[in-house]
Amino acid sequence: MSRKWAIRGILLYILFGLVMYAYLFVWADSTIPENLSGSVADPSTFMTERELVLSEEYSNIRYFLSFLSTPYEWLFYLIILVTGASKLFENWAQKISRFHAIQSVIYVFYLSVVSFIAIFPFQYISHRFSIKYGISNETFQSWMKDEMIDFWIGYISMIIIVAAIYWVMKKSPKRWWFYAWLLFVPYATFFVFIQPIVIDPLYNDFTSLQDKELEKDILAMAEEANIPAEHVYQVNMSDKTNAMNAYVNGIGSSSRIVLWDTTLEKLSKDEILVIMAHEMAHYVKKHLYIGVAGYLVAALFGLWLLSKLLTRISHKYKDTLKITNWNQLSSLPLLLALLSLMLFFSSPVSNVIARYQEKSADLYALELTQDKEAAVSTFQKLTQAGLSQVNPPTLVKWFFYTHPTMLERLMMVDEFETSDQP
């Protein structure tokens, strides 16, 4: 039975891959409506013929890999379970120590290493394509350094989460999901607080913004928006990517305004101010707090649903999946697979909410700067730098777009009436 499950999983994955390939490369239409031809949203008006071709190629490849990666994760967890590898990792951990915390450290290490090796091909292929199409210029050594940082941060975080969840599973088998959520609330809040000051600097070097005149203008906008920031930071990203970005993150005293050096190099002062006004809008409109609160509410429901699915599936398919018990470490791949499934199929809903917030931030930036021309040129340059599709296929938008499409953003700017317009 276990072998049949593995074979069926592989066949379903291959079938899914063929369907997604046909959808992206044959059926999907990413052209803009005819009535928008020649408008500010028409990519042929601001991208070269070669950029248009590369944009279609790179976008289709990138999203094809994205669609394949998540089901591949599910297939990986299925194989780990049905082959008995998860049970083996649990046995090894139990032989080394009788303490639950130590067993969690050992088990999670085995699973993390195997997972890293299994998923590495996807990560590497994505990296190579980003280099081929000129999005990334990161060396293999630098890329591997970031991958290893990801691994260890993920490993340490997973140890804390797994040890806590499986401890409350054993202490309260019926209400573990609620107690796990209570533990998750301070953990998630603390993580948001420390990310800009502890985690982000592990990947890149942050320095004060060199352009003091620009910093003065940005801080003036921040003061108007009541953002408690005394400095603007720039981060060296040009060694890794040609894409552009800027952001405001952190809570309270950890708040940081950050610009990538690629943004500073490729955009004018007015364009940078449009981007910063957009990012500040998220702070002004409390999007971070709303997002965290919404995430915590969703996590409560998600953990409840996860508890029902985990116990039911682990009991029904205990022998096939080779699980000792639903609250033992050997069930972790099943828990992770179910969590991944829930996140994937709920992403269209969360993305709708995210796109609404991003649209409101765009409007705020336009109202604050009253500079339509700079907003249009900013979005056009972002499209060029990222080789993005102006009008992506529907499924791509549903599952991956946390921002409005560039078609929607450019048309919104074009239709916006500034205060000096009649």
Q: Strand 246-249 to strand 256-260: parallel, antiparallel, or no bridges (unpaired)?
A: antiparallel
Q: Which residues pair with 247 in a beta bridge?
A: 258
Who contacts 416 (Cβ-Cβ below 8 Å, separation ≥6)? 363, 366, 372
Amino acid (1-letter code) at residue 33? P
* Total residue length of the chain: 422
Distance CA 195, CA 249 (A): 9
* Residue spans of alpha helices (H) in 29-175: 49-82, 85-96, 100-132, 140-171
Q: Give the sheet arrangement for strand 232-235, strand by strand.
A: 206-208, 232-235, 256-260, 246-249
Q: Which of 90, 138, 279, 408 is catalytic?
A: 279
Closest CA to 232 of 285, 269, 287: 269
* Residue spans of alpha helices (H) in 246-331: 261-266, 269-284, 287-316, 318-321
Taking every pair of Cα atoms in the chain, the longest distance, rounded to a whole number of angstroms, is 78
The structure tokens listed for 224 are: 């108007």
Closest CA to 414 of 38, 33, 51: 38
Handedness of CA 94, 95, 99, 103 (dihedral sign): negative
Who contacts 136 (Cβ-Cβ below 8 Å, separation ≥6)? 127, 130, 143, 240, 241, 242
- Active-site annotation holds for 279: yes
Q: SS3 of 106, please? A: helix
The structure tokens listed for 275 are: 């981007």
Token pair 């239409």: residue: 29
Rounded to the nearest angstrom, the gap between the alpha carbon of residue 249 and the centroid of all alpha carbons in its chain is 15
Q: SS3 of 263, please? A: helix
Query: To which H or E segment does residue 360 belong?
Result: helix 332-369
The answer to whether the CB of 250 falls within 8 A of the CB of 196 is yes
Catalytic residue numbers, as ranges: 279
